[in-house]
């Protein structure tokens, strides 16, 4: 039997980058996947790839700054598959380097909504189903940036730090229901989001990981093999670890 055979997974931000790699890895491990992002065309391409590999996939176009869209993701997953076993909160906004004094308040609120409030609300939406089934795995994608602040990165790093704390808090609340909640803190990963914000030259300054490396860790946490791990934030920095500089 495959590691995630017959399990139902929701992966946000799964049209590209880390989210796409996780969705594809989960499907390869036997899961049926609900993919969600804002771009319908990109989502359908991922869904087609998953279906071609023999798994079911349901694409939900959604804006994670909209609470109604967040609830709709959970509702459509239950309507289509009857249950939710796995949730990966991956979607996020990576903003350009800008000091707080110059930060656009509208962008600040959007970063907070997508990077922090959306994961909280989506956990809130799926937990009743997981609690009823007395099982579930939730994986939040934070960042190594959530471990420490940095110049010009106030909004992004504040949300990623808060997501680590949120992970620990929810894990403490739901462990008695058989649900594990963990967090992954990637270092520099070669994704369209990173390239679009910082450029390819920035990637050359660090040890760079592939999205599939983060997906492999997510797969471990989502599987029964990771059952001893909960309430934990795992650094996944590869060769970009400061120890190696």
Instruction: Give the residue numbers annotated as catalytic, written as ranges.
Output: 156
Q: In what helix (H) or strand (E) does residue 180 lie, and over which residues does it extend? A: strand 179-186
| Helix segments in the chain, DSSP class H | 17-28, 40-52, 67-81, 105-112, 118-133, 154-174, 192-198, 200-203, 211-222
Task: Say which residues have a Cβ less than 8 Å from residue 48's Cβ, sequence separation at least 6.
Answer: none
Residue 43 burial by CB count (10 A; 0-12/13-18/19+): exposed, middle or buried? buried
Residues 168-188 as b or e (16 or more Cβ within 10 Å = b): bebbeebeeeebbbbbbbbbb
| Contact between 214 and 236 (Cβ < 8 Å) | yes
The Cα diameter of the chain in Å comes to 54
């Amino acid at each position: 039997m495959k590691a995630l055979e017959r399990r139902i997974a929701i992966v946000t931000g799964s049209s590209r980058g880390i989210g796409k790699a996780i969705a594809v890895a989960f499907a390869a491990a036997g899961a049926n996947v609900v993919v969600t992002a804002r771009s319908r065309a990109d989502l359908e391409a991922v869904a087609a790839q998953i279906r071609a590999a023999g798994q079911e996939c349901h694409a939900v176009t959604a804006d994670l700054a909209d609470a109604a869209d967040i609830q709709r993701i959970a509702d459509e997953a239950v309507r289509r598959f009857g249950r939710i076993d796995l949730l990966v909160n991956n979607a996020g906004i990576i903003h350009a380097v800008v000091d707080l004094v110059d930060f656009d308040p509208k962008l600040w609120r959007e970063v907070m909504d997508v990077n922090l409030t959306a994961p909280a609300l989506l956990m809130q939406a799926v937990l009743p189903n997981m609690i009823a089934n007395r099982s579930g795995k939730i994986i939040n994608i934070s960042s190594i940036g959530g471990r420490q602040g940095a110049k010009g990165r106030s909004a992004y790093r504040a949300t990623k730090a808060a997501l680590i704390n949120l992970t620990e808090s929810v894990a403490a609340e739901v462990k008695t229901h058989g649900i594990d909640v963990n967090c992954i803190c990637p270092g520099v990963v070669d994704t369209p989001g990173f390239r679009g914000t910082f450029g390819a030259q920035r990637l050359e300054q660090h040890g760079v990981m592939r999205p599939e490396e983060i997906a492999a860790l997510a797969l471990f946490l989502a599987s029964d093999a990771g059952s001893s791990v909960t309430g934990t934030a795992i650094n996944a920095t590869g060769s970009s670890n400061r120890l190696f500089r």
